[in-house]
Amino acid sequence: MKHGWVGGLVTTATVTHATPAGFLAQSDKRDDEEGIATQYLERAIQVYLGGGYRFFDPALRSDKKDLLSGFREKGYAVLRSRDELLSQKSDKPLFGTFSESHIPYTVDHLNDPALLRSIPTLAEMTTAALTRLEHTGQGFLLQVEGAKIDHAAHVNDAPGLVRDQIAFDDAIGVALRFQAEHPDTLVVVTTDHGNSNPGLFGQGDGYGDSDKLFSKVGRMSRSYSAISGDWYADMTIGELTSLIHDGTGIELSASEAGLVLDAIRSHGPNPYTYQNAAIPTLASILANHTAVSWGGTSHTGDYVTLTAQGPGASSLPSLLINTDLNAFYRKCMARA
Ligand SMILES: [Zn+2]
């Protein structure tokens, strides 16, 4: 990092996951999150906020190394809960991990009072990061990742995806308000790839039902992934129907629920190999009720959003190969 600049990483994945680690660590293996965690203690940037305390906690690490004490000794506020984050002053660098692995989906977070108390939102983590970074009085690079959007898309989880997109949008709002007060800040919003191509499809006469069907996603109280944590191969069609109804508000017919049950028992009916799993099968069936359907369960080659506000934004080309973004960041930092 440019001399005199400080840094921060905020994510809803494990803080050692690929996207944050790509900004700070060097490793042959993206899955070596314990090794990446050790590098984080050595790099000692100003802010680490996200999930993944199992890679730092001596009781959970395979080598029993106590990285949490290491951060404390370096003067960090070591945080484990939303309350601790919100009451934290800006006088210390921040190390906060709020779940053992990835942070739960926003839709599950919003509907669980215990999770609401224990885990901050992405916008709250972004606010805390900016407050600390501003306090240092130095130039800074902060990366904020709405990681669960990708996770939701991989399993075709519509309520997971939509609520985490909104949570990411809230975090963009925090960044843009900071930018308005600090016009020398450049905010870039982008992603590294598309995923699974969700779409709102025309349904009903003259496609007139789509909006009404899509609004059902907004009323769902659980991610499909959380629902899948409670289903099992031996359950009856009736038990499965009520489990899905409790989480989504949608009553499947016996034949629809039977297809999901087949997929849970590993005889998935989906002819596209990549969607031949239980949650994407549930998503395919729920597409009849929500008008939200998907193209697959993997990353895609689509053009993606790239937008910016602040100094340098006007020099950002409208089309850019993703790896060239690194050169753009370097140019902006050199000018700052
Ligand atoms: Zn992915």
For residues 124 and 82, the answer to whether their CB atoms sit within 8 Å is yes
CATH 3.40.720.10 for the 6-195+299-335 domain, yes or no: yes
CA of 282 to the centre of ligand 1 (A): 20
pLDDT value at residue 334: 86
CA of 271 to the centre of ligand 1 (A): 22
CA of 182 to the centre of ligand 1 (A): 33
CA of 34 to the centre of ligand 1 (A): 20
CA of 299 to the centre of ligand 1 (A): 6
pLDDT value at residue 1: 58
CA of 135 to the centre of ligand 1 (A): 34
Q: Where are the domains of the chain?
A: 6-195+299-335, 199-293
For residues 11 and 20, the answer to whether their CB atoms sit within 8 Å is yes
Percent composition of the chain: helix, strand, coil (DSSP 3-state, to 5): 50, 15, 40
CA of 296 to the centre of ligand 1 (A): 12
CA of 300 to the centre of ligand 1 (A): 10
CA of 31 to the centre of ligand 1 (A): 14
pLDDT value at residue 335: 82
pLDDT value at residue 266: 86
- Cite the beta strand spans of the chain per DSSP E: 6-14, 47-51, 77-79, 94-97, 140-145, 187-190, 194-195, 199-200, 292-293, 299-300, 306-309
CA of 208 to the centre of ligand 1 (A): 33
CA of 150 to the centre of ligand 1 (A): 5
pLDDT value at residue 44: 93
Write out the two tokens for 298.
């993997």
CA of 234 to the centre of ligand 1 (A): 31
Q: Give residue 316's Cα distance to chain centre.
A: 25
CA of 29 to the centre of ligand 1 (A): 16
Helix (H) or strand (E) holding 261: helix 254-264
What are the phi and psi torsion angles at 96 (to 5°)? -125, 125
CA of 194 to the centre of ligand 1 (A): 9
Residue 205's identity, in one-letter code, is: D
CA of 149 to the centre of ligand 1 (A): 9
CA of 152 to the centre of ligand 1 (A): 9
For residues 63 and 33, the answer to whether their CB atoms sit within 8 Å is no
10-residue stretch averages of pLDDT, the chain, 336 residues long: 84 97 95 98 97 98 98 98 95 97 98 95 98 96 98 98 98 98 97 96 97 98 98 97 98 96 86 91 97 97 95 92 91 85
CA of 18 to the centre of ligand 1 (A): 10
CA of 180 to the centre of ligand 1 (A): 32
Instruction: Give the chain's largest Cα–Cα span.
Output: 65
User: pLDDT tens-digit profile of 73-88?
Assistant: 999 999 999 999 999 9
CA of 206 to the centre of ligand 1 (A): 35
CA of 304 to the centre of ligand 1 (A): 14
CA neighbor of 134 nearest in space, from 84, 192, 177, 189: 177
**Which residues are placed with Cβ below 5 angstroms of ligand 1, an ion?**
150
User: pLDDT tens-digit profile of 36-71?
Assistant: 999 999 999 999 999 999 999 999 999 999 999 999
